[in-house]
Chains A and B, each alone.
Chain A
């Protein structure tokens, strides 16, 4: 059989229109059964995605639990304080002091690099207001440290574009209730358009960098 005959046989078996129809159907179906973990419109047909939107404590999936991070004791400690360091010195806040400050509410997504995205209604103190308390609202980078004793994202650096964004929160509540331990109690960072792993949970310290 020569090349032309081979091509003719293949074309006879499956025409171009049927080929594209088949590939299109397969692609659309594969998307429909797996995209529900990120797009609510597909949540009814989420059959094979590793996450389910809204499934988890407070309607939010969890990547790293408090137990896995080894913070069960330190995060639940009533003596917990958030320490801020800036040009004018250091200030500490207890959780009740943070809740007494003016609270902001933002709908922001946890957009995990694993591929799932779930929006939450977060409530807490604006990071810019806290930085202001230590003289650090002038567009500096900040270093954020978690209570975790180890882990690639225990310490992260946040650029001034996020630190001064009025939507960036030191979040204390999620979807109308105090943060679940697995979502970062007593306080976590929630900034718009940052990967989930950089939304530091179980905050310990925020430093304004020179």
Chain B
């Protein structure tokens, strides 16, 4: 099953390459260069920002005497927050450069990002409370079963 899935994904990837080969020349030299820059920035963002921040978060949270699920939850919250922040970079840059008309990039993206991080942090906090509550319950259970003297 896994082997068949891998082969199917490989064939799909080759089909995508074939479509790209027919479409990409239409971009022209300038378009191809811009596409190259876009892809390079994606790699820089991943390797230069996302990975170091995630590793630092994991290392710091890993030092604490907390279960693995709590560390993963915090890492997940940071990862999702970073991804949404990356999505906000292009509209923020466009606002800085002056949009073509008032219907382009009309949102307060910094305020939206702040609100998103707040909700993200709140959800992680709720998750941590649930993890702590479950731990307390599972550690309390054996003593509850002990018959009273």
With both beta carbons as reference points, the residue of chain B lying nearest to A114 in the complex is identified as B104
Number of B positions contacting A (CB below 8 A):
26
Q: Which residues of A contact B101 (CB under 8 A)?
A: 62, 65, 68, 182
Assess whether B94 is in contact with A29, with CB atoms less than 8 Å apart. Answer: no
- Would you call A193 an interface residue if the criterion is a C-beta within 8 Å of the partner chain's C-beta atoms? no
A48→B80 contact, CB < 8 A: no
Task: Assess whether A51 is interfacial by the CB under 8 Å rule.
Answer: yes
Main secondary structure of the interface of B (DSSP, over half): helix
CB proximity of A164 to chain B, nearest CB, Å: 28
Asked whether A26 lies within 8 Å of B80 as measured between CB atoms, the reply is yes
Q: How far is the CB of A156 from chain B (nearest CB, A)?
A: 17
The answer to the question of A55 belonging to the interface, with a C-beta cut-off of 8 Å to chain B, is: yes
B84 touches A29 (CB 8 A): yes
Does the CB pair B84–A30 fall under 8 Å? Answer: yes
Is A184 an interface residue, CB under 8 A from the partner? no
A50 and B104 contact, CB distance less than 8 A? yes
CB of A14 closer than 8 Å to a CB of B? yes
How far, in angstroms, from A18 to B88 measured CA to CA in the complex?
Answer: 26
Decide yes or no: A30 and B104 within 8 Å by CB, A25-B80, A47-B113 being known contacts: no
A55 to B108, CA, bound (A): 14
Minimum C-beta distance from A54 to chain B (A): 10
- State whether A22 touches B103 (Cβ < 8 A): no
Q: How far, in Å, is B83 (CB) from chain A's closest CB?
A: 5
* CB within 8 Å of B: which A1-48 residues: 13-14, 18, 21-22, 25-26, 29-30, 33-34, 46-48
- With a CB–CB cut-off of 8 A, which chain A residues contact B116? 33, 47
Contact B72 A34 (CB under 8 A): no
A51 touches B103 (CB 8 A): yes
Set of chain B residues within 8 Å of A30, measured between Cβ atoms: 83-84, 87
Expressed in whole angstroms, the minimum distance between the Cβ of B17 and any Cβ of chain A is 22
Which one of A22, A33, A62 contacts B87 once the chains associate, using CB atoms below 8 Å?
A: A33
Q: 30 interchain pairs (CB within 8 A)? A: A18-B72, A21-B76, A22-B76, A22-B79, A26-B79, A29-B83, A30-B83, A30-B84, A34-B87, A47-B113, A48-B87, A48-B88, A48-B91, A48-B109, A48-B113, A49-B91, A49-B107, A50-B90, A50-B94, A52-B103, A52-B107, A55-B103, A55-B106, A56-B103, A61-B103, A61-B104, A62-B101, A62-B103, A63-B100, A64-B100
